[in-house]
C-alpha cells in the first residue's frame, strides 16, 4: 500500500489540506483593501456608541443620570427627562410579542423541516422570506386598519373570561381597548416570526438524521421523535433564536409608533389603550424636537442601543456555540 | 400520523414467520429461489398515509369543528370571522384528539393533535401574508393611476383630490442608489476578508457584523444625524443613503459570506496551482463564480433598506415637493411619505398613503422575485459546473 499511516490518519480525520502560498505585493494591497473594508463596520459600531454618548451628555447632565432612568417624565421646556416608563413599556411590548411569536415560529419551523410535503415547503419558505422582507410600515398600517378590530374582540374575550390572571386585567371595566400594548405586541410578533423561524430551522436541521430515524424506527410517533430528539438537541439554539427575536422586538419603531396611543408613563394594563417604547418615543418626538430635547432623545437611543446590543450578542453567542458543537 | 405498530404490517410479518416455522428443520433448503410476488402487485407501504378509518375521523372532526362553531356564533350573536375561526379550530383540535384517543391510543392522539397545530401555524403564516398583501392591494388600487405616479404633493391641500407620489419615488431611487454604491462594495470585500483572507481581525469583525445586524434602524438614523446632519450639513438624501448603507452592510455581508462558502475549494486550489496570486484567484475565479449569489445578496440588502422609515425620518426629514438633488435639502422617500400621510387625520391623505403602500409593496415584491430568480439560476449554473 502506498498510503503511509499519517496519510491514513489525515484521511480518516478529514483534515482540510494546508495550502502553501507565496504572498505577492498585489496580495498585500488586496488584503489591506479588504481589511479596511472590514474595519468600516468596526468604526460604525464604535462611532455610534461614541457619538451618541457625547451628544447625550447635555440632557443627562440637566436631568441627572440617575433620574433619567428612574423617573417617567418628558418635559423639554424645563429639561426634565426620564425614560423608566418607556423602558418598561419596551419590555412589555417585546414580551407580548414573544408570547405570540414563539409558538407560531417554532410550529412553523417544525412544519417546514419535518411535516410539510415538498411542494408546500417551497411555498412556505418563500412566504416566510417575504414576510421578513415586508417593510415595517406596511405591518404597521395593516395592523392599525385591518387587525385591530378582530384583536379588540380577542382582548375583550380574554378580559371577560381570564381576568383572574393579572395580565388580562383592565384599570376600569369600560377602558378603551384600541391601540394597546397587546395589539402592538401581536403585530410586532408577526414581524419577528421570520427570524425566529429561520434560525430555529438552521439549528434543527443540524440534528443528526440517524438519531431522528432511530427514534422513529423504535416505534416512536413523530411527535415523540421531536420531543425526545429534536427539541433537546436544538434547545440552546432555539433559545438563541428567541433571544434574537426579542432583540428585534425591542428595536421595532415604526409599527409601534403608528399603532400605540403613546404615553410616557408605563401602562401595566396590557390589553388597554396606551403604552410606549423607547424607539417609538424617538420617532414620535423627533420631528418637533429642539436642542435639549434632541439630546435627550439621543440619550434614549443610546439606552436602546446598549440594550439591543447585549441581547443580540448574547443570542448570537448561544447560536454560534451550538453550531460549533454540532 | 400513525404508530409503527400498524395492524396491516403486523399481519405480513406474522405470515412470514409462520412460513418459516412450518418448514421442517431436517429438510435441506430448496436450491431454486422461492417464487416472488410480481413487483407490480406489491403496494408500497406508506407509513404516513391516511387509511379509510382515519379519513372518516378527520372528516368527523372537521364537521364537528365547523358546525359547533357555527352554532355557537348563531347562539351568541358573534359576527367576527376570526371568532368563528378560533372556535372552529379549538373544537376541531378537541374532537381530533378524542376520536384518535378512543380509536387508537393517547400517544397517537397527542401526535395527531401536534400535527394539526403545526399545520395550523403554517396556515397562519401564509394567511397573514395573503391578508396583508390583499389588504394593501384592495385599499391602494383605487388611487393608483398615471397622475398619482407623476405628480407630487406641493400643490394639493390636505383635503383635495389629486397629488401623487413622484417625489417620493425619486427620493427612494436616489437614496437606494447612494446606499448601494456605498455599502455593497464594502460588504462584499468584508465577506472576502472573513471567508477568503481570514485575517487577524476576522473574529472581531464577525462579532461586530452580528451586533450590526441587530442594530435598531432608528439608532442608525440617530448616528448619522449626530455625525452628519448636526455638523452643519443639514438633512439630505445623501444622509439618508448613509444611514441605509449602515443597515445594508450586515445583511449583504452575511449573505455574501454564505455564497462564498458554497464555492468549491477545488476552484481556489486550481487557481493557486496555476500560479495565480491570491488576489487574482479571488477577483477572477471566486467572485465571478459567486456572481449570481452576490447579486442576490445585494438585492436582499436593498429590499431590506427600501422599506425602512425610521432612519430616513431622522436624516432626510421628508418633503412634499420634488427635490432632485440628494445632496441638498430635505427629501422624501416612499416609507416616509406613507408614514407622514398616515399621521394626518383626513381620509384623502390616508387614501394616498395606501396607494403609496401599494407602490412600495410592488417594489419589494419585484426585488424579492428578482433575487429568487437570479439566485436559482446561479445555483443551477454552479451545480452544473461541478
Nearest CA in chain B to A102: B121
User: pLDDT class for A165, splitting at 50, 70, 90?
Assistant: confident
Average pLDDT, chain B: 84
Contact B80, A153 (CB under 8 A): yes
Q: Look at B3 and A253 and tell me if their CB atoms are within 8 Å.
A: no
Residue B383's CB is within 10 A of a number of other CB atoms, namely 9
A123 vs B contacts (CB less than 8 Å): 126
Q: What's the confidence (pLDDT) of residue A189?
A: 96
As a whole-number percent, the residues of chain A with pLDDT over 70 amount to 92
pLDDT over 60 at B69, yes or no: yes
Residue B62's CB is within 10 A of a number of other CB atoms, namely 15
Mutate to test the interface with A, among B113, B200, B222, B266 (most CBs of A within 10 A): B222
Beta bridge partners of A262: A275
> Distance between CA atoms of A183 and A186, rounded to whole angstroms?
5
Contact A298, A53 (CB under 8 A): no
SS3 per-residue string spanning A38-54:
HHHHHHHHHHHHHHHHH
Nearest CB to A283; choose among B190, B310, B361: B310
Q: What's the confidence (pLDDT) of residue B28?
A: 55
Nearest CA in chain B to A221: B3
Which cell numbers hold the place of B238?
445623501
B268 vs A contacts (CB less than 8 Å): 19
Beta bridge partners of B147: none
Q: What's the confidence (pLDDT) of residue B5?
A: 43
Q: How far is B52 from chain A (nearest CA, A)?
A: 20
DSSP letter at B143 equals G
Q: Look at B223 and A286 and tell me if their CB atoms are within 8 Å.
A: no
Which cell numbers hold the place of A26?
498585489
Q: Any CB–CB contact under 8 A between A7 and chain B?
A: no
- Length reported for chain B: 386
pLDDT over 70 at A13, yes or no: no
Q: What's the confidence (pLDDT) of residue B375?
A: 83
User: pLDDT class for B42, splitting at 50, 70, 90?
Assistant: low
Query: How big is the CA angle at A85 (ends A77 and B210), to the nearest 5 degrees?
Result: 105
pLDDT over 60 at B299, yes or no: yes
Q: Look at B110 and A26 and tell me if their CB atoms are within 8 Å.
A: no
Please give the interface size between A and B, counted as residue pairs whose CB atoms are below 8 Å apart.
292
**DSSP-based three-state secondary structure for A274:** strand
> Distance between CA atoms of B213 and B314, rounded to whole angstroms?
20
Nearest to B65 by CA among B86, B88, B81, B82: B88
Alpha helices in chain B (DSSP H): 7-22, 52-76, 81-103, 106-140, 146-150, 166-192, 202-213, 217-224, 237-261, 265-273, 278-280, 287-289, 291-306, 310-315, 334-342, 347-385
Q: What's the confidence (pLDDT) of residue B39?
A: 55
pLDDT over 80 at A301, yes or no: yes
Nearest to B215 by CA among A195, A204, A48: A48
A258 vs B contacts (CB less than 8 Å): 339, 342
User: pLDDT class for B56, splitting at 50, 70, 90?
Assistant: confident
Contact A93, A80 (CB under 8 A): no
pTM reported for the whole predicted model: 0.85
Helix, strand, coil shares of chain A, percent, nearest 5, are: 75, 5, 20
Nearest CB to B132; choose among A17, A138, A253: A138
> Distance between CA atoms of A251 and A248, rounded to whole angstroms?
5
pLDDT over 60 at B268, yes or no: yes
pLDDT in tens, B205-252: 998 998 898 899 999 999 999 999 988 888 999 999 999 999 999 999
pLDDT over 60 at A215, yes or no: yes
Q: Look at B364 and A38 and tell me if their CB atoms are within 8 Å.
A: no
Q: What's the confidence (pLDDT) of residue A158?
A: 86
Instruction: Give Cα B9 distance to the centre of its chain.
Output: 41
- Length reported for chain A: 326
Give the contacts of A288 (CB within 8 A, at least 6 positions apart): none
State the architecture of A84-325 in CATH terms: Orthogonal Bundle (1.10)
Q: What's the confidence (pLDDT) of residue B1?
A: 43
User: pLDDT class for B183, splitting at 50, 70, 90?
Assistant: very high
Q: Look at A42 and B208 and tell me if their CB atoms are within 8 Å.
A: yes
B307 vs A contacts (CB less than 8 Å): 133-138
pLDDT over 90 at A319, yes or no: no
pLDDT in tens, A57-107: 999 998 888 999 999 999 888 888 999 999 999 999 999 999 999 999 999
pLDDT over 70 at B106, yes or no: yes
Q: Look at B209 and A41 and tell me if their CB atoms are within 8 Å.
A: yes
- The values of phi and psi at residue A273, to 5°, are -55, 140
Q: What's the confidence (pLDDT) of residue A245?
A: 94
pLDDT in tens, A111-153: 999 998 888 998 899 999 999 999 999 999 999 999 998 888 8
E strands, chain A, in order:
74-75, 80-81
pLDDT over 70 at B41, yes or no: no
Q: Look at B222 and A150 and tell me if their CB atoms are within 8 Å.
A: no
User: pLDDT class for A9, splitting at 50, 70, 90?
Assistant: low
pLDDT over 60 at A277, yes or no: yes
Mean pLDDT score, B100-112: 87
Which cell numbers hold the place of B352?
394616498
Q: What's the confidence (pLDDT) of residue B43?
A: 62
As a whole-number percent, the residues of chain A with pLDDT over 90 amount to 58
**Cα-Cα-Cα-Cα dihedral sign, residues A299, A304, A306, A309:** negative
Nearest CB to B211; choose among A23, A224, A312: A312
Give the contacts of B310 (CB within 8 A, at least 6 positions apart): A253, A254, A279, A282, A283, B216, B217, B218, B221
Q: What's the confidence (pLDDT) of residue A138?
A: 95
Nearest CA in chain B to A295: B226
Q: Any CB–CB contact under 8 A between A254 and chain B?
A: yes
Least confident of A20-29, A47-56, B282-291: A20-29
pLDDT over 50 at B304, yes or no: yes
Q: Any CB–CB contact under 8 A between A223 and chain B?
A: yes
Domain locations along chain A: 84-325
B211 vs A contacts (CB less than 8 Å): 45, 309, 312-313
pLDDT over 60 at A23, yes or no: yes
B345 vs A contacts (CB less than 8 Å): none
- The DSSP H or E segment spanning A217 is helix A209-217
Average pLDDT, chain A: 88
B207 vs A contacts (CB less than 8 Å): 313, 316
Nearest CA in chain A to B186: A37
Q: Look at B216 and A283 and tell me if their CB atoms are within 8 Å.
A: no
Helix, strand, coil shares of chain B, percent, nearest 5, are: 75, 0, 25
> Distance between CA atoms of A294 and A285, rounded to whole angstroms?
9
Give all domains of chain B, ordered by start, each with its CATH number.
7-19+48-138 (no CATH), 166-385 (1.10.3720.10)
Q: What's the confidence (pLDDT) of residue B6?
A: 44
User: pLDDT class for B32, splitting at 50, 70, 90?
Assistant: low
Amino acid at each position: 500500500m502506498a498510503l503511509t499511516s499519517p496519510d491514513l490518519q489525515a484521511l480518516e480525520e478529514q483534515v482540510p489540506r494546508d495550502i502553501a502560498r507565496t504572498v505577492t505585493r498585489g496580495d498585500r494591497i488586496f488584503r489591506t483593501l479588504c481589511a479596511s473594508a472590514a474595519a468600516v463596520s468596526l468604526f460604525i459600531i464604535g462611532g455610534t456608541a461614541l457619538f451618541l454618548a457625547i451628544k447625550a451628555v447635555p440632557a443627562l447632565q440637566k436631568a441627572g443620570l440617575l433620574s433619567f432612568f428612574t423617573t417617567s417624565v418628558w418635559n423639554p421646556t424645563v429639561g426634565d427627562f426620564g425614560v423608566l416608563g418607556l423602558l418598561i413599556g419596551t419590555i412589555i411590548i417585546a414580551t407580548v410579542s414573544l408570547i405570540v411569536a414563539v409558538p407560531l415560529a417554532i410550529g412553523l419551523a417544525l412544519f417546514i423541516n419535518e411535516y410539510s410535503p415538498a411542494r408546500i415547503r417551497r411555498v412556505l419558505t418563500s412566504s416566510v422570506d417575504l414576510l421578513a422582507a415586508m417593510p415595517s410600515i406596511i405591518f404597521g398600517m395593516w395592523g392599525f386598519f385591518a387587525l385591530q378590530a378582530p384583536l379588540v374582540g380577542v382582548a375583550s374575550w380574554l378580559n371577560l373570561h381570564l381576568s383572574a390572571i393579572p395580565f388580562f386585567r383592565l384599570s376600569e371595566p369600560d377602558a378603551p381597548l384600541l391601540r394597546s400594548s397587546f395589539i402592538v405586541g401581536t403585530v410586532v410578533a408577526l414581524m419577528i416570526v421570520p427570524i425566529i423561524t429561520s434560525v430555529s430551522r438552521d439549528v434543527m436541521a443540524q440534528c443528526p438524521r440517524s438519531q431522528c430515524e432511530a427514534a422513529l424506527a423504535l416505534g416512536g410517533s413523530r411527535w415523540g421523535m421531536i420531543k425526545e430528539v429534536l427539541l433537546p438537541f436544538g434547545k440552546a439554539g432555539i433559545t438563541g433564536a428567541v433571544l434574537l427575536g426579542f432583540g428585534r422586538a425591542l428595536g421595532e419603531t415604526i409599527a409601534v409608533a403608528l399603532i400605540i396611543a403613546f404615553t410616557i408613563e408605563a401602562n401595566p394594563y396590557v390589553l388597554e389603550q396606551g403604552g410606549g417604547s423607547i424607539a417609538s418615543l424617538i420617532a414620535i418626538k423627533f420631528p418637533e424636537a429642539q436642542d435639549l430635547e434632541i439630546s435627550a432623545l439621543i440619550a434614549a437611543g443610546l439606552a436602546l442601543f446598549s440594550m439591543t446590543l447585549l441581547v443580540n450578542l448574547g443570542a448570537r453567542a448561544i447560536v454560534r456555540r451550538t453550531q460549533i458543537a454540532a | 400520523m400513525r404508530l409503527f405498530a400498524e395492524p396491516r404490517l403486523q399481519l405480513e410479518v406474522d405470515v412470514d414467520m409462520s412460513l418459516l416455522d412450518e418448514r421442517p428443520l431436517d429438510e435441506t433448503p430448496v436450491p431454486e429461489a422461492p417464487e416472488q410476488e410480481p413487483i407490480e402487485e406489491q403496494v408500497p407501504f406508506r407509513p404516513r398515509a391516511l387509511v379509510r378509518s382515519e379519513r372518516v375521523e378527520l372528516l368527523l372532526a372537521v364537521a364537528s369543528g365547523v358546525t359547533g362553531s357555527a352554532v355557537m356564533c348563531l347562539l351568541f350573536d358573534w359576527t367576527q370571522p376570526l371568532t368563528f375561526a378560533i372556535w372552529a379550530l379549538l373544537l376541531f383540535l378537541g374532537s381530533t384528539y378524542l376520536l384518535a384517543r378512543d380509536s387508537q391510543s393517547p400517544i397517537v392522539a397527542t401526535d395527531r393533535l401536534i400535527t394539526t397545530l403545526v399545520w395550523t401555524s403554517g396556515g397562519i403564516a401564509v394567511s397573514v401574508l395573503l391578508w396583508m398583501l390583499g389588504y394593501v392591494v384592495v385599499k391602494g388600487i383605487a388611487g393608483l393611476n398615471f397622475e398619482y405616479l407623476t405628480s407630487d404633493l406641493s400643490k394639493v391641500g390636505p383635503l383635495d383630490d389629486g397629488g401623487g407620489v413622484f417625489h417620493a419615488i425619486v427620493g427612494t431611487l436616489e437614496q437606494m442608489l447612494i446606499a448601494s454604491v456605498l455599502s455593497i462594495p464594502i460588504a462584499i470585500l468584508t465577506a472576502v476578508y472573513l471567508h477568503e483572507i481570514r485575517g487577524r481581525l476576522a473574529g472581531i469583525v464577525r462579532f461586530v457584523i452580528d451586533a450590526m445586524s441587530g442594530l435598531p434602524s432608528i439608532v442608525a438614523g440617530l448616528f448619522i444625524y449626530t455625525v452628519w446632519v448636526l455638523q452643519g450639513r443639514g438633512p439630505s438624501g445623501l444622509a439618508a443613503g448613509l444611514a441605509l448603507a449602515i443597515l445594508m452592510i450586515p445583511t449583504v455581508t452575511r449573505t455574501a459570506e454564505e455564497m462564498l462558502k458554497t464555492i468549491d475549494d477545488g476552484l481556489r486550489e486550481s487557481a493557486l496551482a496555476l500560479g495565480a496570486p491570491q488576489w487574482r484567484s479571488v477577483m477572477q475565479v471566486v467572485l465571478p463564480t459567486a456572481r449570481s449569489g452576490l447579486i442576490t445578496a445585494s438585492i436582499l440588502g436593498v429590499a431590506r433598506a427600501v422599506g425602512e422609515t425610521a432612519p430616513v425620518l431622522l436624516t432626510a426629514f421628508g418633503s412634499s415637493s420634488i427635490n432632485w438633488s440628494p445632496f441638498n435639502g430635505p427629501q422624501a422617500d416612499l416609507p416616509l411619505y406613507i408614514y407622514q400621510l398616515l399621521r394626518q387625520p383626513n381620509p384623502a391623505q390616508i387614501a394616498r398613503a395606501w396607494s403609496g403602500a401599494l407602490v412600495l409593496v410592488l417594489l419589494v415584491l419585484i426585488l424579492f422575485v428578482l433575487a429568487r430568480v437570479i439566485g436559482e439560476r446561479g445555483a443551477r449554473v454552479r451545480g452544473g459546473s461541478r
